[in-house]
Structure 1
């Protein structure tokens, strides 16, 4: 049987006739370090790597490796607290957020808080009534509790006519609102007139008055 020629050492720097490919491989591959210890311990799984191996070799043991990984080894520096300037900034932001929340809450209370309450309704007219072809000035006075809101109302007259639904805005702090009805008469005769103010919202109230129209 013919054997392949032995590898020549000239090209590789080896002159030993007994040098073989197997021996060449042993020079190129580094055997694992028998002293290697895991640099991380995760449950029952041990992981090897370059992270803290040198430090562990100096201080020994797998327990030290676990301490290094979890950050509990004596001498390790604890996490530094946030800088003082940053803490001040956080406090300023917290104070600003609190003030904003209070302001928004106040406006929400004004907008969606308790509704305006009506205390009473009174209606008046001149007792002597208007003259011939005159106009009676009927005044309704609505007293409220000072909260803002909207009054919805209508006038009803004894001649069978009534107004549509009318509205009047009431400002904050305004406790008295005057509503007017101008009723004009034409011709001769005598007529007992009744005027009624019907408040629809925020609550239902009525007020009435009477006067005499006389034109001889």
Structure 2
């Protein structure tokens, strides 16, 4: 059961804990009832000051991405330290994860092949957005893919382990991890559906050979092999609705102890840059910007809790014992280095936001272009009196506008012409055609999807697909 273990940065720890790669996670509840989570880092990972500085830069980049509109990450509310402990606070729950759901929930139908495809599609989009911004996740696995209450897939712990270990970003490691995730879900959630499992194995191989974007497109093109309505996330949302909220996520063995909440009066954070006026005032008083430390706790309004400043390795000249005088003497140099690091982190964050904005809105000022079309039909032989769903994908340059296309069926002379409006920012647009076949006999149907406009001069953009009908 949930047990009140005190509060941290305006969040009350509820006593539900689980072990992660970086330390101990705990569920938490904000003063307004919103649920979130806290992560108390393993002290060994954050003992080095340079590791803390890299951690701060990673968190700042994450917050900038989230504020600019990227929705595929678990949002971070704060990063704090108190009494040599470092805590990460998220404004949404960081559980359950795919790893938790793999163990099953009592009374739940459990995720299916469509759920697996949803997780893979959404994590692929998020990873591609990160890579376009020059960032990576770094430690993708079932334990860092969180399922939100609406069934969407969010990535947790983005870039944190790389930052703490000082590892350079490696997009290829993300791709390999995504392929491994696809194979694992094929063998578990999709195991009851042979064709769907085969599709997930295929996209895993595609990711390894041709990259993540090609794997995402292959998954989308093979959607006819997946349960209908998988894009609604309904099965995942139902699974979470039945998930016992009062139980800790399954990890095997006894749960880790609940971390004791730090004294609110000792908490400081490093996720705030002083405003210009505030900086000038403090410099006039003889304080440099890197000396500014805002505290929160008793007597400070609750609404400012998450806006305070944590600065790693803050000046401890008045509290350090004599044996630490040598380290204290070097503190001014360390503070200057931290000041430069903070400035560099802010510049990096602005560059990341700009790159992400260019990726999200590329082509918004350019006319709509369709670069390719793909068509797929069911591979299974269709039985008597059936309606065959033909699906197509139009790949665009991300600009918005009107697109016109036609379907040409082998059983009729006149084509079927359709016109759709495409929103700006979408790199692809899905279309479909229903073909009803009745009566006895065998029949091979062929359909050709052709782009009418906007079409490049002198070039045909089209694709075809076939299916087999047999009724005796």
| TM bracket, shorter-chain basis | 0.3 to 0.5
For normalisation by structure 1, the TM-score amounts to: 0.46
Higher share of residues assigned helix: 2
